[in-house]
Amino acid sequence: MTPALKTSGILVAATAISAAALLLSQGKAPAAQEPGTRPAKASGKGLQLQSSLASTHILAGDSDAYMAVSLTAPEQKKQARPKVDLAVVLDRSGSMEGEKLSQAKLAARQLISNLAEQDRFSITVYGTDVEVVFPSSVATEASKRAALMTISEIYTDGGTNLSGGLLAGKSQLLGLSESTGRVQRIVLISDGQANEGIVDRSELSELANQTAMAGVSITTVGVGLDFDEQTMTRIAVSGRGNYYFAESADMLATLFDTELQRLGATVATQVSLRITPKQNVEIREVLGYETQEQGGSYVVNIADMHAGETRKVIVALRVRAGQKGTMELADMSALFTDASKGEARALSSVLSAKITSDLAVVNANRDMQANRLIERALTAKAIDEATGLYEAGRAAEAQSLMDTRAVAAQAIAADLGDMDFEEEMKSTQTRVKQGFAEAPAASSAGGKKARKANRKDAYDLMY
């Protein structure tokens, strides 16, 4: 499968299909769902798994459809937060000289100062060389004071050996003797593109995936306007962590504070979703993720789950349906580790749909929440494709692509009577197009800002 956010003809086809359905729907509001066609749900201690199509009905014969799968974590209860093992991996390459390094140091100090005595942490720096300047230690007041002094002595030097920094941070965490029931996280901070060690984007993504499979998730923080946001995003997604974009260095402290709060609210780690299509169903694409195919199933690794959070996966399907009845489309199973106890858990469900030959019936039985999730993902994909056009000096085409996608998303929202979502899509379109219009030169500071802000919008919509 291709990584999502990759340019694809599916976007154009999906827009056409959505538009055609709207024209034939004649403005009908969603009807009540028929018995047996509700979204598939499964609940277990810690998470809820739900899957649904854009409509509870599908057309007889060959058709394309989108499936929205969501995992939701329960709200935080009054209980002790999981213990955290943190590896701060900080870029000290020459381009971090000055204010960026000063603010990064300040943010790292704040992050470490807020750890509890049940936590452990380490600090790794990388330029051309990689150095563990503070080996993993229990976060006692004495060790935190010593770490703050170490941070003050970090200086800039050399290139950007990002992979070396990741490997060193990973070793600090995997070398700990006891990790059951603990959240293990690398926080990677960089302002530049990898130019030493592993530099290929796909290889860095695979390194992040291997790290996550070992139980260590990776959050990435891009500083300034010169980092490769596509690489940093892919590392975060493959590494089951979060991605942040700090337009200015003084935003780092706030981002790190947010990250620590999220770590403290972690309820599930090593989360994966297995999707197995039924007979006469083909998975065309899993939007936003790189997947592993295993015996006819597709496995998607998902970021660590925090209290009250929902993660979504949108799947493009090709369905060959009979003429009537109910059709099973896919088996879903979610595997995860309970963060508080370190215990492995599983959930499973089956998604079915009613078959009809009447497109009006399909449109009258649409699922509002599923349509929201699907349209957000398709819009994220459009933003990424438009940003690529913009980078290539094709700003007018980028604007046109966003207009086409916005019309489709807003029309579906309006037809469903979902005014809040219609406004959300309008706001997103305006924000993205303003970036293209105000910074026509992609190599300029304004162009870099627009590119990173737009891809952050795409990330937030997709995940």
Paired with 63 in beta bridges are 319
Going from the first residue of the chain to its last (463 residues), give the mean pLDDT of each consecutive group of 10, the final group possibly shorter. 40 38 38 48 78 96 96 80 92 91 86 92 97 97 97 95 98 87 92 92 96 95 88 96 83 81 89 97 96 93 93 97 95 92 91 96 95 97 94 89 94 93 92 75 74 92 95
Architecture per CATH, domain 36-76+286-356, reads as Sandwich (2.60)
pLDDT at 440: 52
Q: Tell me, what's the pLDDT at 443?
A: 64
Tokens of 134: 């503070």
- Three-state SS for 35-93 is CCCCCEEEEECCEEEEEEECECEEECEEEEEEEEEEEECCCCCCCCCCEEEEEEEEECC
pTM for the whole structure: 0.85
- Residue ranges of domains in the chain: 36-76+286-356, 83-264, 370-462
∠ CA 74-3-128, nearest 5°, is 95
Distances (CA, A) of 331 to 61, 141, 273: 21, 50, 10
Triad 407, 412, 417: Cα angle to 5° = 125
Element (H, E) at 372: helix 368-391
Rounded Cα distance between 195 and 419, Å, is 47
Same fold, 36-76+286-356 and 83-264: no
Which parts of 127-265 are beta strand (E)?
130-138, 182-190, 217-223, 243-246
- Which pLDDT belongs to residue 17? 37
CA-to-CA dists, residue 421 to 354, 369, 375, 379, 426, angstroms: 27, 10, 10, 12, 9
Terminal Cα-to-Cα distance of the chain (whole angstroms): 18
Tokens of residue 373, six digits: 């999730």
Q: Per CATH, the architecture of 83-264 is what? A: 3-Layer(aba) Sandwich (3.40)
